[in-house]
Amino acid sequence: MLDRPELAFFNKLSGILHIELTEPAQPYAPHVLNLQASPDARITSLRFDAQVFERGELRPLTEDELASIAFAAPQIRLRGDTGEEVAHDAPNGEHFTVRDLIRAVELTELRTRGSSEWLGGVDVHHIFFEGISLEQDGTWAICWGS
């Protein structure tokens, strides 16, 4: 497994994937937090909002944090829960900043999340960022919790 110490800060970020659908998601059952999308609902927009959890509170990332190196390689191959791989080239051709990697995660999910399935529709429940992890095939899995 590759050692990527520059990912330590990125993988500690708190983040939420905000998904807008053609039809709003509904609670799966009374008194539960699970959300269920209609089988006919399609994604209209998607945004990954990352923040830093510090001293018991969330705060926005600073410009210095956003500009720091998050992945020191010219390309990263990401995949979400659907297993579909999406390759991203570093905008500067050398490495990904935190800002670049946030955008790569967002673009991967925008491209693949519509093919996911949870309770009969698009997965709108697993939206809490839990980092990225290296898979045996060299891709990086985006981990989402609920």
Percent of the chain with pLDDT over 70: 99
Residue 56 lies in a domain: yes
Number of domains making up the chain: 1
Query: Using CA atoms, how far apart are residues 118 and 37, in angstroms rounded to an integer?
Result: 8
Residue 71 lies in a domain: yes
Task: Specify burial of residue 75 (Cβ count, 10 A radius: 0-12, 13-18, 19+).
Answer: exposed
Give the domain range for residue 137: 7-145
Give tens-digit pLDDT for 97-108: 999 999 999 999
Strands 75-79 and 85-89: antiparallel
Categorize the per-residue pLDDT at 2 as very low, low, confident or very high, splitting at 50, 70 and 90. low
Q: Compute the mean pLDDT over every residue in the chain, rounded to the nearest whole number.
A: 94
pLDDT at 16: 96
Query: Could you give the 3-state DSSP secondary structure of residue 102?
Result: helix
Residue 109 lies in a domain: yes
Categorize the per-residue pLDDT at 1 as very low, low, confident or very high, splitting at 50, 70 and 90. very low
Query: Using CA atoms, how far apart are residues 67 and 45, in angstroms rounded to an integer?
Result: 25
Residue 33 lies in a domain: yes
Backbone conformation region of residue 55, classed left if phi is above 0, alpha if psi is from -120 to 50, else beta: left
Give tens-digit pLDDT for 15-41: 999 999 999 988 887 777 778 999 999
Is residue 20 within 8 A of residue 45, CB to CB? The reply is yes
Percent of the chain with pLDDT over 90: 85
Residue 1 lies in a domain: no
Residue 80 lies in a domain: yes
Residue 100 lies in a domain: yes
Average pLDDT over residues 105-132: 95
Residue 2 lies in a domain: no
Q: How far is CA 95 from the centre of its chain?
A: 18
Query: Using CA atoms, how far apart are residues 45 and 83, in angstroms rounded to an integer?
Result: 21
Backbone conformation region of residue 44, classed left if phi is above 0, alpha if psi is from -120 to 50, else beta: alpha
Please name the amino acid found at residue 34. N
DSSP state of 127: -
Q: Worst-scoring range by mean pLDDT, 22-31, 48-57, 135-144?
A: 22-31
